[in-house]
Copies of this chain bind each other. A is one copy, B any other.
Amino acid sequence: MSALRRTLLKGASPSPGTLFGHRGLVSVRGTRVLYQPSTPSLFRPFSSSTSTSATSKTTHSSSNWIKSSTVQLSLGLGLGISLAALYSYSNPHAPSQTETQSPKQSKQSLFTRGDVRSHTTKETGIWVTSNDGVYDITDFVDIHPGGERILLAAGHSIDAFWAIFSLHNSPETKELLESYRIGNLIPADQDPTYNATRDDQSAITSALERLFENDPIRDPLLISRSDRPCNAETPPELLTRDFVTPNNLFFVRNHLPVPEIDVEEYTLEIDAPWVKNPITLTLKDLQRKFEHHDVMTTLQCAGNRRKEMHDAKPVKGLQWTQGAISNAIWTGVLLKDVIEQSIGPVPKEWADKIKHVQFHGAEGYGASIPSHKALDPRGDCLLTFAMNGSPLPKDHGWPVRALVPGHVAARSVKWVTKITLAEDESESHWQQRDYKGFGPSKTLEESDYSTAVSIQEMPVQSCVTVPQPNETVPVVEGRATGIKGFAWSGGGRGIVRVDVSVDGGKTWTDAKLTRPGQEAGKEWAWTHWEASVPVTKEGPVEIVCKAVDTSYNEQPRDMESVYNVRGVLVSAWHRVKAEAVKKAEQENAK
């Protein structure tokens, strides 16, 4: 047994400060957590003091395992990310029968579902199943990167939870789970459809509802791609209705449940290796001590348009069409100002070492960006608290969201509670084992996350929003008219041209562009475009668009050549099959 595991498993509350090299814990107070351990700790009643308008669909259980505790939050969420990474890279949890299993329990032991359901507390031991395996995770609960949320699965199959918290889908996580295996289900209970049967399913559904009870109510116009966590896209035709997307229609991409944060108790910690005592700022500190800036920025999910790639060849992930992109005016303070005015500029001896700025989200998410982007006076990285003139909505990171213009939206961390200047990238799952690109012929197994480069700046993109597939496009004086769309590129690169075709890409016409009017090199917001394209006859047309950015990069033609198993960075020409109909006829048809 490794020293690390021995240490981890010895005490109920290992000191994370010494164990994992973190000097401070996330200091969000009042965030709801879901488990009260048997050893006494600070108990506080539920609070619901966030100032967003969305109503929490709370159905509080009186069960004693749904409680709120600052201490637990520190353990549960604060540790989450670094631990997730730790487990990904070293697996110190070799099976150890002598310490974790009774003589009767061996890997060959057989148990019934009933046996598993009777193990849900520290006293009895906490068991779960996964497929036909039975696992005793009692000792793992306190060190679970995702906190006590793991206890929702106590006595049940863990598979339904992992289906939602997809970060568990890695060989390392599966290997780690195997180190806790104590046996198998009896053959009679090895029913793969078991999770669909009534008794387990209702318990699991209820547990999942509790996990997401702080999520706000969303605009029904948003197109949901997953409910838990919420992932919902802006309807394509609404993307170009407004140049600035209204808050209620801004696409939502959550990796975990929306955390409940008491804004009066919210703090943001700024840390760096040379800083002895990390600086803690309240929301009022942020709002009052630093100059405010408005930055119009388009955010796009790395997986936007994944469905198109999936239709060409299957890929894993949320089936976004074109709406995982939106544009807003964000108000906040410069990340650079906050860092430099709270902990000072990077000391000379650290200047060559500090390469990244890591963001830690209150819900357990984390990501990092290159320090040169974070500290560049022209980088426009913000810590935002308002969006389009309103307080940041709960879904978009209230009270504070990091905004990284020109980069993939996954780096604009919501509910940010800690910022760390560091030598390395964030150790989070989403920095290390997600949001990277791979070659077109690589399988999931061949995709080596350790050598692939994290997605930061995004490639040039454009889509047709009007017409939608199978709609008509009016022909006026020999031209297909009113074709609309958006174009965007990462890194502050503006759009120099959008080429539009109605013959599938044989001939091209320049679209008329509505650019954001931002400074050269800081064109963070999208361009809208409209085209009127000569068409020789009525009938079916294949509308295609491709954009060119200020570095004269342009979109690749086919899905096949940009295919990657994770279905990210989908930037192939966008194609819409529609029907060209003469204007008069079209009006008669109404």
- Compute how far the CA of A490 lies from the CA of B455 in the bound complex, rounded to whole angstroms: 17
A491-B493, A551-B553 known; 19 new pairs, CB 8 Å cut-off, are A370-B520, A372-B378, A437-B548, A437-B552, A439-B508, A439-B509, A439-B510, A441-B507, A441-B509, A442-B510, A453-B497, A456-B551, A457-B493, A459-B552, A491-B551, A552-B571, A554-B556, A556-B556, A557-B557
Name A549-570 residues within 8 Å CB distance of B.
550-558, 561-562, 569
Decide: A355 and B520 in contact? CB cutoff 8 A: yes
> A440 on the interface (CB 8 Å rule)?
yes
Give how many copies assemble into the complex: 2
- Compute how far the CA of A297 lies from the CA of B509 in the bound complex, rounded to whole angstroms: 36
> A458 on the interface (CB 8 Å rule)?
yes
* Chain B residue at minimal CB-CB distance from A509: B441
> A227 on the interface (CB 8 Å rule)?
no
* Chain B residue at minimal CB-CB distance from A505: B561
- Compute how far the CA of A410 lies from the CA of B373 in the bound complex, rounded to whole angstroms: 28
What are 14 A-B interface contacts by the 8 Å CB criterion?
Answer: A372-B519, A439-B510, A440-B507, A457-B493, A457-B550, A457-B552, A491-B493, A491-B551, A505-B561, A553-B571, A554-B556, A556-B556, A557-B557, A557-B561
Q: Which residues of B contact A571 (CB under 8 A)?
A: 552-553
Decide: B553 and A460 in contact? CB cutoff 8 A: yes
> A175 on the interface (CB 8 Å rule)?
no
Question: Closest CB-CB distance, A343 to chain B, in whole Å?
Answer: 21
Interface residues of A (CB under 8 A from B): 355, 370, 372-373, 376, 378, 437, 439-442, 452-453, 455-460, 489-491, 493, 496-497, 499, 505, 507-510, 519-521, 546, 548, 550-558, 561-562, 569, 571
Q: Which residues of B contact A491 (CB under 8 A)?
A: 491, 493, 551
Known: A456-B550, A491-B551. A439 touches B499 (CB 8 A): yes
* Chain B residue at minimal CB-CB distance from A460: B553
Q: Which residues of B contact A496 (CB under 8 A)?
A: 437, 452-453
Decide: B497 and A439 in contact? CB cutoff 8 A: yes
Q: Which residues of B contact A376 (CB under 8 A)?
A: 378
* 7 smallest beta-carbon distances between A and B, as pairs: A457-B551, A553-B553, A453-B496, A459-B553, A441-B508, A459-B552, A557-B557
Question: Closest CB-CB distance, A483 to chain B, in whole Å?
Answer: 15
Q: Which of A372, A556, A562 has the most CB of B within 10 A?
A: A556
Q: Which residues of B contact A561 (CB under 8 A)?
A: 505, 546, 554, 557
Return the contact of A440 from the options B458, B499, B555 (Cβ within 8 A). Answer: B499
Question: Closest CB-CB distance, A375 to chain B, in whole Å?
Answer: 10
Q: Which residues of B contact A489 (CB under 8 A)?
A: 551
* Chain B residue at minimal CB-CB distance from A498: B439
Decide: B499 and A437 in contact? CB cutoff 8 A: no
